[in-house]
Chains A and B, each alone.
Chain A
Amino acid sequence: MSVDTKRHAAVVNRVDPLEPVPVLVGRPDDRELNQTLFAPVWAKTRKGWLVLFALALALTGLLFTAIGYTFAVGIGAWGNNIPVAWAYGIVNFVWWIGIGHAGTLISAILLLFQQKWRTSINRFAEAMTLFAVIQALLFPLIHLGRPWFAFWLFPYPSTLGVWPNFKSPLLWDVFAVSTYFTASLLFWYVGLLPDLAALRDSSKSHAKRVVYGIFSLGWRGSARHWRHYRIAYLLLAGLCTPLVLSVHTIVSFDFAVSQLPGWHTTIFPPYFVAGAIFSGFAMVLTLIIPARKAFGFEHVITEKHLENMAKVLLATGLMVAYGYLSEHFIAWYSGNKYEQFVFWNRANGPYAPVYLLMLFCNVLVPQIFWSGRARRSIWVLWIASILVNVGMWCERFVIIVTSLHRDFLPSSWAIFKPTVVDWSILIGTIGFFGLLFLLFLRFVPSVSASEVKELRRELEHEAAPPHPVERAAR
């Protein structure tokens, strides 16, 4: 890693006087970039990585053991009951789906808005999205009473003759989430092509060359390919943007469309989307801060990126806070005693601690990002991001469990207590997520080299007056 930052100080300041911290420290040439960004892929497996991998593997084992047990004895293995028929299963589902929003959002929306700082983190974020969505996809399946009939949710001509009920938000979910997963996967893969080709061409061994050769599909940076590629990538981004928004909107319909006080409210779609971005960015920070340190990507994933993400956290955090506020206001303003009780019960009922923890993590913590120093302090950022993740999990718990456990008829009120299996599945998914992520870090360049190269050129063009030929080209 040989980037002398001082040498480029002058350049830096010329690049963007408005940006105190550059989005790219120094001007490494393409070959340097290749070396540094692909280093983790070519490097020998590190001990630290192995340790983490072993841990993640163990937790993944725990996850599938717990799932196996659930399949064997039934949902009774969980703490669910009547009235709390949904609990950790759906809480985790919504939590993971929410986390899975930042990736596509960063790479799609920021791409459309031509945010330069997107470039060096989008690959990372997209990967995170994919893996989070994979966790989320587990739950609609395993939370079923009869998971072996999960395929009945798809519209296929069945012997029962009956079709799915398209009025049910759960069915909308099936379509939304599967679409989202497919789109994110393809978007990610398409974006990966040039780097896979670069890996192929810079791989030492024949075997690696063959493997990367297969996955890069024969990409050779041809102008013809670039022509289709760029527009396709742009279109995918264009489609993914509304998709991201639609997915969490539809997830929120699971609750908003029902009749239950605490669920049945029109603010859910925007409030869920904001929450999703909130938790998504938090998760990106949680992961990227250690990663950039471990792989020495500080010059491509600069403080600038972290600070911007902190700003996003602050903004979305405020939106979420507004969501809470308006929920309570509407409950009070509606004059509906059932509605009012739910919110009174959140703050005073048996689950009040979860509610207060939620308020602390999601409303109070982000406020420190008003201070620039906090935004630039790695530790503050990292801890805050973790707290936000916790807070967002609590939010889903509050919405789902607290609303269910005391609804219309006091006679059916009851308490939900999670079982070991519930906890194992929650922790297990975190392990499984980590497992996939470690594999990604090991075998795929976690920062898009081709895009950074492009970025470098853009920055240089901004710096230096464009070449006459190029002006002609424009």
Chain B
Amino acid sequence: MATYVLAQFQDEHALCEAARRLRELGHTDLDAHSPVPLHGIDEALGLRKSAVPLIALVGGVLGASGGYLMQFWMNALDYPINVANRPLHGPPSNIPITFESGVLISVLFIVFGLFALCGFPRPYHPAFDAPGFESATVDALWLSVRTDRTRAEGITHELERLGGTKVSTVPEDER
């Protein structure tokens, strides 16, 4: 039965230190919450590079090639017709739409990829139950540890020792 142990930290350095310490102690399922992105937090939590760029690339390629093929098939293969004595397949006139569809699909991939990676939409999260956690999006920095209830006690002490305040524990299966 998993629970979250959350603690507020005053500055990002303390937060990073704490995160590092906990990982040394073997607590891997860590997360930090802050109103602005923090420097160095990624490596402190040991997070890998984001997959978003790859998703964007895939989307772009699919969109562009799809866009071009669509035009080629529709005007040159499926319904060929003499329009103003122009060639049925005119690459120059296909460029704009190819580009636009590339961008469109890529953008959609990025945004919905982002949502997927972040597990959005998720309006409710257990951490919200931690007292004072609202400040996470306003001005305070928080460290959260997802762990087994049995180990929550130890982590709480550890966090307090590392300078965390407002340390609290919220079970994941609250309601």
Contact = CB atoms under 8 A, between A and B. Distances in A.
A411 interface: no
A472 B13 CA distance: 11
Interface of B: 12-13, 16-17, 31-45, 47, 50-53, 56, 60, 70-71, 74-75, 78-79, 81, 83-84, 86, 90, 93-94, 96-97, 99-101, 103-104, 106-108, 110-111, 113-115, 117-125, 127-128, 133-139
A179 B103 contact: yes
A254 B94 CA distance: 15
A178 B103 CA distance: 11
B139 A232 contact: no
A30 B134 CA distance: 13
Contacts of B56: 235, 239
A30 B45 CA distance: 24
Contacts of B127: 220
10 contacts: A161-B79, A221-B136, A222-B33, A224-B118, A227-B47, A235-B56, A235-B110, A239-B110, A450-B35, A457-B36
Interface in A159-200: 161-167, 171-172, 175-176, 178-179, 182-183, 186-187, 190, 194, 197-198, 200
A175 B101 contact: yes
Nearest to A469: B13
B47 A224 contact: yes
A50 to B, nearest CB: 30
Given A166-B74, A228-B114, A469-B17, A223 B100 contact: no
Nearest to A202: B138
A201 B13 contact: no
Nearest to A455: B36
A453 interface: yes
B113 A166 contact: no
A36 to B, nearest CB: 13
Nearest to B12: A470
Contact of A218 (B13, B31, B75, B121): B121
Nearest to A173: B96
B128 to A, nearest CB: 7
Q: Which 10 A-B pairs have the closest CB atoms?
A: A473-B40, A30-B139, A218-B122, A201-B134, A163-B74, A217-B121, A223-B32, A217-B120, A172-B96, A226-B37
B39 A473 contact: yes
Chain A interface, DSSP helix/strand/loop, else mixed: helix
A450 B78 CA distance: 51
Contacts of B124: 213, 218
A239 B103 contact: yes
A140 B17 CA distance: 58
Nearest to B95: A172
Given A172-B96, A201-B137, A182 B125 contact: no
Interface in A207-238: 213-214, 216-232, 235-236
A161 B74 CA distance: 10
A236 B107 contact: yes
Contact of A165 (B34, B38, B83, B107): B83
Contacts of B100: 172, 175-176, 179, 243, 246, 250
B73 to A, nearest CB: 9
A183 B63 CA distance: 14
B125 A223 contact: no
Contact of B39 (A202, A228, A242, A474): A474
A467 interface: yes
B101 A223 contact: no
Contact of B123 (A165, A182, A198, A213): A213
A253 B96 contact: yes
